[in-house]
């Protein structure tokens, strides 16, 4: 075996060991953390869980003049009106830019009113801006704009 090949094999093994170590101490890749936050939002909508929903939103949320407090009022109104909410997102694309990410995804809402009327189905796409908070093992991503 030649010296250069031995170096490449050693470098690859070292890189794998470093990645495994980072994962063990809690350094999850940003894209996975973003997916987890968005999946949590989806679960919160389907379960009609205001606290869980708000846990995915940055305290500094500001979109078209709306704050996190405005979102809380809005989501409570929606949860009060709809007896059942089914939300599903797909075709998610994540573009990372340092401490920010832009997510574009398609979604479908199926909403059943408490009044007993026919369910409403809404299919569309959305663009969400997310921000990274914390470092290493305490790192998390929150929604900052766009919902």
141 by Cβ neighbours in 10 Å (0-12 / 13-18 / 19+) ranks as buried
User: Which 8-state DSSP code applies to residue 2?
Assistant: -
pLDDT at position 27 is 57
pLDDT range class, residue 139, cuts 50, 70, 90: confident
pLDDT at position 147 is 82
Look up residue 18 and give its two tokens.
């470093």
pLDDT at position 9 is 52
pLDDT range class, residue 59, cuts 50, 70, 90: very high
User: Which 8-state DSSP code applies to residue 59?
Assistant: T
pLDDT at position 96 is 94
The better pLDDT of the pair 26, 71 is held by: 71
pLDDT range class, residue 99, cuts 50, 70, 90: very high
pLDDT range class, residue 58, cuts 50, 70, 90: very high
Residue listed under structure tokens 């089914």: 86
Cα–Cα distance for residue pair 103/124, rounded to 1 Å: 14
pLDDT at position 11 is 46
Q: Which residues pair with 102 in a beta bridge?
A: 95, 129
Question: Do 111 and 87 contact (CB within 8 A), yes or no?
Answer: no
Question: Can you tell me whether residue 60 is helix, strand or coil?
Answer: coil
pLDDT higher than threshold 70 for residue 26: no
Question: Do 137 and 26 contact (CB within 8 A), yes or no?
Answer: yes
User: Which 8-state DSSP code applies to residue 130?
Assistant: E
Cα–Cα distance for residue pair 18/45, rounded to 1 Å: 37
Look up residue 11 and give its two tokens.
């470098």
């Amino acid at each position: 075996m030649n010296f250069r090949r031995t170096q490449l094999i050693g470098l690859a093994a070292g890189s794998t060991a470093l990645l495994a170590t980072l994962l063990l101490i809690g350094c999850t890749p940003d894209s996975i953390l973003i997916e987890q936050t968005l999946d949590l939002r989806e679960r919160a909508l389907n379960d009609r869980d205001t606290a869980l929903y708000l846990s995915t939103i940055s305290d500094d949320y500001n979109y078209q003049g709306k704050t996190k407090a405005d979102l809380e009022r809005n989501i409570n109104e929606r949860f009060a009106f709809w007896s059942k909410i089914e939300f599903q997102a797909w075709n998610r694309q994540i573009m990372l830019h340092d401490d920010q990410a832009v997510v574009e995804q398609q979604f479908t809402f199926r909403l059943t009113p408490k009044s007993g009327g026919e369910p409403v189905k809404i299919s569309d796409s959305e663009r969400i801006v997310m921000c990274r908070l914390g470092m290493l093992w305490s790192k998390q991503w929150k929604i900052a704009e766009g919902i």
